[in-house]
Amino acid sequence: MSKEVSAGAQGGVKYRNAKMWELITAPACAGNNICMYMCMVYASYAGSEGYGIATAVVGIIITLTRILDAVTDTAIAYVFERFPTKYGKCRPFLLVGWAIEALAVWLMYSAGANHFKGIAGVVVFVLIYIVYVIGYTVNNVAGSVMAAVLTNNPKQRPMMSFISTMFSYGVPILLNNVVVFSILPKYDNQYNMPMLKEMTNFYILVSLICCIVSMIGIWRSDNEEVWKEASAISNRQKQEKVGLKQMWEVLSKNKDVQRYIVTCATDKFAQTTATQSVILNMLSGVLIGSYAATQIAGNYASVIGLIFAFAGGIVIGKIGSKKGTVWFSWLTIAISAVQMIVCIILGPDGMRQIGDTGSMIFMLWVVCTVGMTAGRMLLSVAANTMRADVTDGEENRSGHFMPSVIAGVYSLFDKGMSSICATIATVAISFVGYVNTVPQMGDEVTSGIFWMAIILSFGLPIIGFLCNIIAMKNYTLDVDTLARIQAENQAKRDAIAAENAMAE
C-alpha cells in the first residue's frame, strides 16, 4: 500500500506522511530497547552475586564485550541493507532482536545465575553478554531507521521523536515504580539475585508488548514499495556494499555526520556513566537513603517533563535540531550545576534531608529533577530528529539512501564511547570501598562515596552537554538547508521515476 503524500511548504516537496496512530505506535520499539537495557544495567550486580566476579572485573568485561560488538554493527548493517523487502525489514529485525535479547536476559538472571563460579563464571557471563549485544544491535538497527522510513516530513519527525522519547522515559518510570514499591520490598530493598530474576522476567514481558506494538505501527510503511521508492537514487547509482569502507567514507566526508556522532556519543557517554546502577544506588540508596523518595521525584519529573518535552518538540519542529540541541544543552548544564551545588552545601551527612518528602530540600530536588528530565527528553528528541536529517543529507551528498549505514557509523562510535561507562563506574566505586561488593541501601556514608557520586552524577554530564554545544557550532543542517536538500532529493527521485516510465 502506498504512503500518503503531501506537498511541502517549501519547494513543492512531496512528503511521505505517516498517520497519527503510526507516529504513536511505531516508536514503541524504544520501550522495547529500554526494557532490555534496564535489565543489563544490573549486570554488575549479577556478575558479582550470581557469577562470583569482582565488581571492577565485571565492568572491564562489559567494556571489552561492547567494543567487540562494533564488529557486529558492520555485519548486521550489511545484512539489513540486503534483506529482502517483500516482508519488510524493520519488523523481522525487531522480532528477532527481541528474541535474542530476551534469551540473554533469561540466561543471565535465571538459568545461569548461581550455577557457575570462578573461571566458568567469567566464561558463561561473557558468552551471555555477547548474545545480548548481538540482539541489541539487531533491534537497534531496525529502530534507528524507522523515522527515515515512516516519514520524511520534517514537521512529523519531531513528533515521532517526542513519542519515542516518551517510551524511552515513560516505560522506565512505570517499571521502576513497580520495582521500588512492589518487588524490592519483598527482598528487604536489596538488589539480590532472586529480586533481579523477578524484575527481569517482568521486563521481558513488557518489552515483548512494546515490540508487537511497534511492529503494528510500522506495518504500512515497512514494505517493498516504500523501500524501493526511498532507495530509488541509491539503486540508480549502484550502491556499494555496506562495510567498514563505506562507513569510513560517510564518516570522513560528511561533516554533519561527524558532528552528529560527537553530539550523541559524548552526551550518551556522560549520561550513561551517571546512570549506571551502581552510581544511582550509591546516590539514592547510600547518600539520600531512600529509593522511594528519589522514585517519587522521578515520577513528578516524568509527568511534568513530558509536558515540557511535548512543547519543546513543537519548538524543535520549527527551529530545527541544531538550535534545539544548543538551547537545551545550556538548560541541562545550568540544572546540573544547581544540583551539584545543593549536594555540596548539604555535605555527606546532610543529603539524607533530600529523602524527607515533606522538606523544602526535597521540593527543590523535585524541581531540579523535573528540569533535568525535561532537558534530557528534549535533547533526545533533537538527537532522533537529527539522525533522520543527516540520513537525508547523506542521500543528497552521495546519492545513497542508507539509514542503516548512518546508524552503523553512529553505533560504532557510540558503543566505543559508552562501552567504557561500566568500567569507569565499577572501577571508580572500587576506589571508595566496593571491590567485591556493590552499593546497597544502609551502607555507611563516607566522604569518598560522597565525592565520587557527585562527580559522576553531575560533573561528568556537564562535560557531555558542553560537547554538544561545541559540536553544533559548524553543523549545517538547519531548517532552511534541510528544506533545500529535501527538494533536491525529491527532484532526483522524480527524474528517475520519469525515465523509468519512458523506458517502459
3-class secondary structure, 165: helix
In a domain, 328, yes or no: yes
pLDDT of residue 337: 94
pLDDT digits (tens, 9 = 90+) for 270-329: 777 777 778 888 998 889 988 888 888 888 887 787 787 777 777 887 888 888 899 999
CA distances from 226 to 22, 305, 365, 372 (A): 15, 35, 48, 38
pLDDT digits (tens, 9 = 90+) for 350-360: 999 998 888 89
How far apart, in whole angstroms, are the C-alpha atoms of residue 238 and residue 246? 13
Number of domains in the chain: 1
Question: Looking at residues 114-143, what average pLDDT do you find?
Answer: 86
What residues contact 209, with CB distance under 8 A and at least 6 apart?
none
In a domain, 490, yes or no: no
Answer whether residue 413 shows pLDDT above 50: yes
In a domain, 397, yes or no: yes
How far apart, in whole angstroms, are the C-alpha atoms of residue 495 and residue 501? 10
Secondary structure (DSSP) of 188-205: TT---HHHHHHHHHHHHH
Position 42 confidence tier, pLDDT thresholds 50, 70, 90: confident
Closest C-alpha among 234, 177, 243, 195 to residue 405: 243
In a domain, 323, yes or no: yes
Answer whether residue 30 shows pLDDT above 70: yes
pLDDT of residue 301: 81
Position 199 confidence tier, pLDDT thresholds 50, 70, 90: very high
In this structure, the number of other CB atoms found within 10 A of the CB of residue 119 comes to: 8
Answer whether residue 1 shows pLDDT above 70: no
Answer whether residue 473 shows pLDDT above 50: yes
Percent of the chain with pLDDT over 70: 86
How far apart, in whole angstroms, are the C-alpha atoms of residue 251 and residue 179? 41
| pTM (global) more than 0.95 | no
Range of the domain at 89: 27-227+240-485
Q: Which residue has the cell 549545517?
A: 476
Helix (H) or strand (E) holding 5: strand 4-7
CA distances from 195 to 7, 109, 184, 192, 401 (A): 54, 10, 7, 5, 46
In a domain, 500, yes or no: no
In a domain, 11, yes or no: no
Answer whether residue 99 shows pLDDT above 60: yes
Across the chain, what does the average pLDDT equal? 81
In a domain, 105, yes or no: yes
pLDDT of residue 12: 52
The CATH number of whichever domain residue 282 belongs to comes to: 1.20.1250.20
In a domain, 494, yes or no: no
How far apart, in whole angstroms, are the C-alpha atoms of residue 370 and residue 236? 49
pLDDT of residue 7: 40
pLDDT of residue 100: 95
